[in-house]
A = this chain, B = another copy of it.
Amino acid sequence: MEDSYTLIGKGINRVDAVAKVTGKAKYCSDYFEPDLLVGMVLRSPYAHAKIKNIDTKEAEKLEGVEAVLTYKTVPNTKFPTAGHPYSLDPSHRDIEDYSLLTDKARFVGDAVAAVVATDELIAKKALKLIKIDYEVLPFVTDQEEAIKEGAPIIHKERPNNIISDFGITVGDPEKVFENADKIYKNQYETQIVQHCQMETHNTIAKIDEKDRLVIITSTQIPHIVRRIVSQACNLPIGKIRVIKPYVGGGFGGKQDAVIEPLTAAMCLAVNGRPVRLQLSREEAIIASRTRHAMRVNIKLALSKDNKIEGYDIENLVNNGAYASHGHSIAMSAGSKIRPLYDIKAEKYRPKTIYTNLPVAGAMRAYGIPQICFVIECMVEDVCTDLNIDPIDFRLNNFIKEGHIDKASNLVVRTFGLPECLKRGRKLIDWDRKRNLYKNQKGPIRKGVGMACFSYFSGTWPVSLEAAGTRIVMNQDGSVQVQVGATEIGQGSDTVLSQMAAETIGIPFDMVTLVSNQDTDVTPFDSGAYASRQSFIAGQAVKKAATEVKRKVLEIASDKCGLDRELLDIKDGKIIEKGIKREIYTLKEIAMEAYYDKEKYAPITSDLTVKVKNNAIAYGATFVEVEVDIRTGKIKVLDIYNIHDSGKILNKKLAEGQVDGGVSMALGFALSEKFIIDEKTGAVINNNLLHYKIPTIMDTPKINSEFVDTYDPTSSYGQKSLGENTTISPAPAIRNAVLNATGVAFNKLPMDPQSVFEKFKEVGLI
């Protein structure tokens, strides 16, 4: 099966590599319109405050100000911003709690007014001229505080501040805990971090010559943005066109209609003239989306033979001021980690809670890095308590191939995780080092640690999984491929091109993938998220390419008289399968298709698949760290991410995903966090000087390994990889630090200050 591939599995260079390094790829910033106006947003200085009065007269008078918008002048529809495919089932729809501009600020940075002006300086001046009389309200930033009696009510529709507390029970947790040999309990906690994509949110809106609203935007989800803008601005969806240029990173932060609806409203406020709204870095950090902080109380039931029998997980999720993706992330966190250890029962009790903080939403791996931290710390702590080797313990507890997840009914068809652990054990020199690093003294101590995870390849069966592809064959046998799946830096254009070329049977350079989605002509697809591109869109590309191949062979068969089954396409030529005789070039057939006066038609395929399937991917991180006891500084000496992501479509790109995902996880583990001013509720480190993402100087060489499995339900054996890479490094590092120092950090990040304080607390210094 996979051995016969000529392009799948090859380390082909990105199709957009040259375009990007030469600056030729056009991002949203590179789009200009004559007389492009500048939009800017006035943001609340208060974490919680009602607008009593708003006076825009002075701002409006300023020369160069074209419009001033407030909640009074924009449509007051409440709408959801989450980049989810719409659901026909009302109970599965996102919460409609966001308005274009609010009459009540719910976090420091909430959009209370906006200005459209001829340039940025005037817009900034105008913002200062807007006078707002606020009634300042008490606010709450901690999720646990927010659900206490008497806490400030953030949305009157949910007086207890709970967005949802829908949970899940699998098996009979009561019985499992009753019969457990041992029960472990602990609390683990993760912080708020931010995506910090290289390109901040950037949108142009204009009314075109056909009187339709055109939105050019840096998004992961053009088709969903179209629907959300339609709802927010009360425009028929057919009167909206969304164009996605090259995108400088999404990571989930652009799986959300963060600024598109407001930019559209700005454009409508100036009679359809073009307006650009681009978030500054400071705005992007606080006013786009963040990763949910989670505070988790976990109980683990262990049997006499050291088998994990079940969990009871209470998860308090800090969602910030608006729902965005809301409870979906808590639910994803609970479900995607489940097909890992062979538990008998689980009680998962999440609460997704409004607070007066920036809005949490989708971020790479959608809740799993948090919950993986919890599980993999807990497991490590159990092993420490039992003095069992954590790898052996895990291997003893894993599910097996053929496992069926009790909640989702998903089947584990391939399970390369034990092999991942075997490889990692060897690569990090585990047995020798674990022994060597016992009982270290002195200021510099080393440790090795590991953690593992499970993840899905899409959102089925929770959500619709639709993907569309259109392929058009040119006269020379080359093809253009249009996909709804969006390239946002992850490399999907490249692997989808590989797939098309592989399946049709043409050289890679005969495929042109149309990179910029345009909802007027791009096949429907919900976009880039859930690591769904290669798994979901891959099925659409394969199906469309197969149809193209079939049509080519039908014409060839008609011409040469041989049955279609006897023919094949190899390297752009139609051959007779058995004797491998070349019969026609693809160009000859394509020319017949185009130019035969009576028969045939140009060869195209235009289809949408609805995928009812999901493949569970696995992986593990092995890491060696060095801890400076005196400074609290943790240095990663060596790190390996080892993935079972099925067939690796393109090793170069896969390694790139690991590089990016691990680097992001290093920040999550060691340095990144929102620092909240307790007095105001403001994020005081809303810039890249004080918000500490790892620089290249902080980043060790990141190593990746891939275990070969081949998912039989997948188009080319592949499973998800993109988000997976960022899941397990944080707990692996934490477990390595535990190995090095004997100190268990149960709260992220392990930044020098926190580590230093903890070392003081436990008496190490």
Which 10 A-B residue pairings sit nearest by Cβ, starting from the closest?
A: A238-B478, A19-B209, A24-B209, A606-B606, A601-B608, A238-B474, A524-B602, A237-B476, A464-B597, A236-B476
Task: Identify the closest chain B residue to A462 (Cβ).
Answer: B597
Q: How far is the CA of A475 from the CA of B22 in the complex (A)?
A: 39
A607 vs B210: C-alpha distance when bound (angstroms): 25
A25 within 8 A of B: yes
Contact of B610 with A210 in the complex, beta carbons under 8 Å: no
Q: How far is the CA of A610 from the CA of B22 in the complex (A)?
A: 43
Residues from chain B with a CB closer than 8 A to the CB of A482 are 521
Within 8 A of B (CB), among A434-492: 461, 463-466, 468, 470, 472, 474-480, 482
19 CB-based A-B contacts, threshold 8 Å: A18-B211, A24-B209, A26-B209, A88-B597, A227-B475, A237-B474, A237-B476, A238-B478, A464-B596, A464-B597, A466-B601, A472-B520, A472-B521, A480-B520, A482-B521, A514-B521, A524-B602, A599-B610, A600-B610
A595 is an interface residue with CB less than 8 A from chain B: yes
Docked complex: A12-32 residues within 8 A CB-CB of B:
15-16, 18-19, 22, 24-26
> What is the total number of residues of chain A having a CB less than 8 Å from a CB of chain B?
65
Kindly state the separation between the CA atoms of A662 and B229 in the bound complex, as whole angstroms.
47
Contact A209:B16 (CB < 8 A) given known A472-B521, A514-B520: yes
Whether A466 pairs with B88 at a CB distance below 8 angstroms is no
* A594:B476 contact, CB within 8 angstroms: no
Provide the residues of chain B in CB contact with A466, threshold 8 Å: 594, 601-602
| B contact residues around A594 at 8 Å (CB) | 86, 466, 524
Docked-complex contact B209 and A18, CB < 8 angstroms? yes
Judged by a CB distance under 8 angstroms, whether A741 is at the interface is no
Cα separation A599 to B208 with both chains bound (whole Å): 35
Which residues of the other chain, B, contact A236 by a CB distance below 8 angstroms?
476, 478
A612 CB–B CB distance under 8 Å: yes
A86/B237 contact (C-beta < 8 A), A209-B18, A524-B602 known: no
Asked if A70 CB lies within 8 Å of chain B CBs, one says no
B-side contacts of A523, CB under 8 Å: 602, 604
CA distance A85 to B594 in the complex (A): 9
Interface flags, A180-215, vs B, CB<8A=1, else 0: 000000000000000000000000000011111000
- State how many angstroms separate the Cβ of A714 from the closest Cβ of chain B: 19
Which of A210, A464, A514 counts the most B-chain CB atoms under 10 A from its CB?
A210
Which of A24, A510, A594 has the largest number of chain B CB atoms within 10 A?
A594
Cβ of A464 and Cβ of B595 under 8 Å apart? yes
* Contact A212 B512, beta carbon cutoff 8 Å: yes
- Does A591 touch B at the CB level, under 8 Å? yes
Q: Is A753 an interface residue (CB 8 A)?
A: no
Query: Please, how many angstroms separate the alpha-carbon atoms of A524 and B475 in the complex?
Result: 11
Closest residue to A86 on the B side, CB-wise? B595
Interface positions of A from 593 to 648, Cβ below 8 Å from B = 594-602, 604, 606-610, 612
The residue on B at minimum CB distance from A525 is B602
Which A residues form the contact surface with B (CB < 8 A)? 15-16, 18-19, 22, 24-26, 85-88, 208-212, 227, 230, 236-239, 461, 463-466, 468, 470, 472, 474-480, 482, 510, 512, 514-515, 520-521, 523-524, 591-592, 594-602, 604, 606-610, 612
Name the B residues within 8 Å of A209 (CB-CB).
Answer: 16, 18-19, 22, 24-26
Q: Whose C-beta in chain B lies nearest to the C-beta of A26?
A: B209
- Contact indicator A475/B19 (Cβ below 8 Å): no
Give chain B nearest CB distance to A160 CB in angstroms: 31
- With a cutoff of 8 Å between Cβ atoms, the chain B residues found around residue A16 in the complex are 209-210
Name the one of B88, B210, B596 contacting A592, with C-beta atoms under 8 angstroms.
Answer: B88
Residues from chain B with Cβ under 8 Å of A599 in the complex: 610
Among the listed B512, B514, B596, which residue makes an inter-chain contact with A88, where contact means beta carbons less than 8 Å apart?
B596
Contact B602 A480 (CB under 8 A): no
What's the nearest-Cβ distance from chain B to residue A749, in Å? 38
Please determine whether B610 and A601 come into contact, CB atoms closer than 8 angstroms: yes
Given contacts A86-B475, A212-B512, 14 further A-B contacts (CB under 8 A): A18-B209, A24-B208, A86-B591, A86-B594, A88-B591, A210-B515, A238-B510, A464-B597, A465-B597, A470-B521, A514-B521, A524-B602, A598-B612, A601-B609
Residues A238 and B602 in contact, CB atoms below 8 Å apart: no
Chain B residues within an 8 Å CB radius of A601: 466, 607-610
**A15 nearest in chain B by CB position:** B210
Q: Which residues of B contact A461 (CB under 8 A)?
A: 597
Inter-chain CA distance A731–B217, complex, in Å, is 58
Neighbouring B residues of A608 by C-beta, 8 Å: 601-602, 604
Q: Give CA–CA (A596, B466) in the complex, Å.
A: 10
CA–CA, A602 and B602, complex, Å? 22
Taken together as a complex, chains A and B put the C-alpha atoms of A576 and B474 apart, in Å, by 43
Q: Find chain B residues with CB under 8 A from A596 CB.
A: 88, 464, 610
Q: Which residue of B lies closest to A461 (CB)?
A: B597
Given A24-B208, A595-B87, A480 and B512 contact (CB-CB distance below 8 Å): no
Shortest beta-carbon distance from A518 to chain B in Å: 8
A237→B587 CA distance, assembly (Å): 10
Which residue of B has the minimal Cβ distance to A510?
A: B238
A524 nearest in chain B by CB position? B602
**Given A88-B591, A237-B475, A521-B480, are A512 and B25 also a contact pair (CB < 8 Å)?**
no
Most buried by B among A463, A482, A597: A597
Assess whether B478 is in contact with A595, with CB atoms less than 8 Å apart.
no
A604 & B602 in contact (Cβ 8 Å cutoff):
no
CB distance from A228 to the nearest CB of B (A): 12
**Inter-chain contacts of A477 with B (CB < 8 A):** 238
Q: Which of B238, B510, B591, B598 contacts A512 (CB 8 A)?
A: B238
State A612–B464 Cα separation when bound (angstroms). Answer: 43
Contacts of A591 on B, CB cut-off 8 Å?
A: 86, 88
